[in-house]
Amino acid sequence: MKKYLVDDTEYYVEVEGSGPILLFAHGFPFDSRLFVPVAERLSSRFTCVVPDLRGFGKTKLGADGHNSTGLPRVKMGRFADDLAILAAILSCQRHNKDEKIFFCGLSMGGYISLAFARRRPERLAGLIFCDSNVTADSPEKAADRMEIAATIDALKIPGFVDNMIPNLLSPETLKSRPEVVSALREMMISQTPDAIAAGSRGMAKRSDSSDVLPEIEAPVLVLGGEHDKLSPPEALDGIAAKISNAKRATVPHAGHLPPLENPDAFARAVVEWYDATFAN
Ligand code: MLT
């Protein structure tokens, strides 16, 4: 992996391929491994930039990964600012400092993508919004996340992860793709308690982003797994309807994590949208 200094922390990033920059933001509690299978398939079309977000994978939380009382907490806007800095570094290296980028965010990465769209609309060539939603947490969900943040420790991580997995994958993946289940579990249990606490607090405090949708001028692909229980197809249809220049696609044989469950179809949907939207 390459390393890039982003304010107070060093970002670990997989960079592969050539062409326009396509920056990926993974969900929670994952890391760059979520998108590597897709990046491999898209590297002949895009410069795929796949970071471990602040606190996750190899990237350390840094001082800005904590709140004013020193507890781990990363706001969605902080992640978005990190990625804007990373994109700016890469664009400068390519001698194209005002380059617009493509941004692909899944679930928590989708929340981050909306923060990016709000803060840096001038840098956005296109957005791929995957398996995510635009509203804030309900009070109950936010309280649940704050409780997790306050109590998670290394011993509790396996139970926390095993509780989540049935909601993340499609019934078909759970039943007949043990290699996908074990790769996902390994990625999730390798995250630190501080990362889980930081992401949980950040998501619990995020605000509603519905107002951003009609403001997005860049073309958007709203993409999701056919069997996603957390962001079901009908909910993604509703989000796409609020964006002026959105296309909708569904990834078959996948739940909440199509980049792992069906990377071929995920990559194909991206290429088809790109060719239909940006071909001269
Ligand atoms: C994710 O996959 O990033 C999570 O499902 C997001 C969340 O907990 O809201």
Mutate to test the pocket of ligand 1, among 76, 141, 203 (most ligand atoms within 8 A of CB): 203
pLDDT at 253: 98
pLDDT digit string, tens, across residues 191-226: 999 999 999 999 999 999 999 999 999 999 999 999
pLDDT at 85: 97
- Nearest alpha-carbon partner for 74 in 113, 49, 108: 108
Mutate to test the pocket of ligand 1, among 24, 108, 132, 188 (most ligand atoms within 8 A of CB): 108
Three-state secondary structure call for residue 249: strand
- Residue 233: asked if its preceding bond is cis (omega within 30°), the reply is no
pLDDT at 98: 87
pLDDT at 271: 98
**Can you tell me the distance from the alpha carbon of 264 to that of 135, in angstroms, rounded to the nearest whole number?**
29
CATH number at residue 123: 3.40.50.1820
**Can you tell me the distance from the alpha carbon of 97 to that of 174, in angstroms, rounded to the nearest whole number?**
44
What distance lies between CA 23 and its chain's CA centroid? 10
pLDDT at 181: 98
Q: What is the mean pLDDT of residues 243-262?
A: 98
Quote the domain boundaries for residue 193: 2-278
Q: Can you read off the two tokens belonging to residue 14?
A: 């997989």
The mean pLDDT of the chain is 97
Q: What is the mean pLDDT of residues 239-251?
A: 98
Put residue 248 in one of left, alpha, beta given phi > 0 → left and psi -120 to 50 → alpha: beta
Question: 222 pairs with which residues across the strands?
Answer: 129, 248
> 98 C-alpha to center of ligand 1: Å?
31
pLDDT digit string, tens, across residues 71-120: 999 999 999 999 999 999 999 999 998 899 999 999 999 999 999 999 99
Atom of ligand 1 nearest to the CA of 230: 5
Angle at which helices 76-93 and 193-204 cross, to 10°: 110
Question: 17 pairs with which residues across the strands?
Answer: 47
pLDDT digit string, tens, across residues 26-39: 999 999 999 999 99
pLDDT band with cut points at 50, 70 and 90 for residue 280: low
pLDDT at 115: 98
The answer to whether the Cα torsion of 233, 238, 243, 244 is positive or negative is positive
pLDDT at 279: 79
Atom of ligand 1 nearest to the CA of 167: 5
Whole-model pTM: value is 0.97
144 burial (CB, 10 Å; 0-12 / 13-18 / 19+) is: middle
Q: Can you read off the two tokens belonging to residue 90?
A: 């890469």
Q: What is the mean pLDDT of residues 249-257?
A: 98
Number of structural domains in the chain: 1
pLDDT digit string, tens, across residues 117-168: 999 999 999 999 999 999 999 999 999 999 999 999 999 999 999 999 999 9
> 131 C-alpha to center of ligand 1: Å?
9
pLDDT at 19: 96
- Within 6 A (CB) of ligand 1 lie 27-28, 107-108, 203, 230
pLDDT at 30: 98
Angle at which helices 193-204 and 108-119 cross, to 10°: 60
